[in-house]
Chain A
Amino acid sequence: VQLQESGPGLVKPSQTLSLTCNVSGGSIGSGSYYWSWIRQPAGKGLEWMGRISTSGSTDYNPSLKSRVSMSIDKSTDQFSLRLNSVTAADTAVYYCARAVLWRWSYWGQGILVTVSS
């Protein structure tokens, strides 16, 4: 299984950050997996943002819940992240990852998103 993030590398403050994760080597709709987004500001630790199951149920980090949404498209083997009202504090490397329950065995390479005008 391989995961690959894609999306704009630069987003303006107050706008919406949108990223997509393309899954290859296996169908996103098969198995009991959770598809997550995890981010990491430069030089800092990891922050789990949320997850979406194969059935489409979501679970978000309470600290981001009001601004984040995730969706899954089984027809294209992709899942997506939207983060509203971004600020400079949202500048980070964003990873998509696949989990069995709460263990992430497969990760994308990460995509740097900078929030700046």
Chain B
Amino acid sequence: EVVMTQSPATLSVSPGERATLSCRVSQSVSNGFAWYQQKPGQAPRLLIYGASTRASGIPDRFSGSGSGTEFTLTISSLQSEDSAVYYCQQEGTFGPGTRLEI
């Protein structure tokens, strides 16, 4: 069973700053790793797939990196609309999420 851990659970950052969100996977990832953003009352939105490829329409303020079992989502020049819960995903398993407050 794949276990995914996200840190921190909650992150509070000021507008214009940078946020770094982490995800650890219990088994080495070969493919299928992604990041999603979910705002209250909305469905999740795909941000990053293949660990580092931005999905269509996602601004370049969002970037993903990492390999193996350690992955990072970096959001630069934070804006108020970036407040959301961010989930990492490896195939059929989601992480518990990081709540980002701007």
Using a CB–CB distance below 8 Å, which chain A residues touch chain B?
A: 45-48, 59, 61, 95, 97, 101-105, 107-110
In the bound complex, CA of A48 to CA of B92 (Å): 6
Tell me if A45 and B43 are in contact (CB < 8 A).
no
Which one of B55, B87, B92, B94 lies within 8 Å of A105 (CB-CB)? B55
Enumerate chain A residues within 8 angstroms of B49, measured Cβ to Cβ. Answer: 103
In the bound complex, CA of A110 to CA of B42 (Å): 8
Which one of A61, A95, A101, A109 lies within 8 Å of B31 (CB-CB)? A101
Q: Which B residues from 30 to 87 make CB contacts under 8 A with A?
A: 31-32, 34, 36, 38, 43-46, 49, 55-56, 87
What number of B residues sit within 8 Å (CB to CB) of A?
A: 22
Known contacts A101-B32, A103-B32: A48-B94 contact under CB 8 Å: yes
Instruction: Judge if B22 is at the interface, Cβ distance under 8 Å.
Output: no
Tell me if B91 and A102 are in contact (CB < 8 A).
yes
Known: A59-B92, A107-B44, A110-B43; 11 extra A-B contacts, CB below 8 A, are A45-B87, A46-B87, A48-B92, A97-B43, A102-B31, A102-B90, A103-B49, A103-B55, A104-B36, A104-B44, A107-B43
Tell me if B46 and A46 are in contact (CB < 8 A).
no
Q: Which of A45, A46, A95, A107 has the most CB of B within 10 A?
A: A46
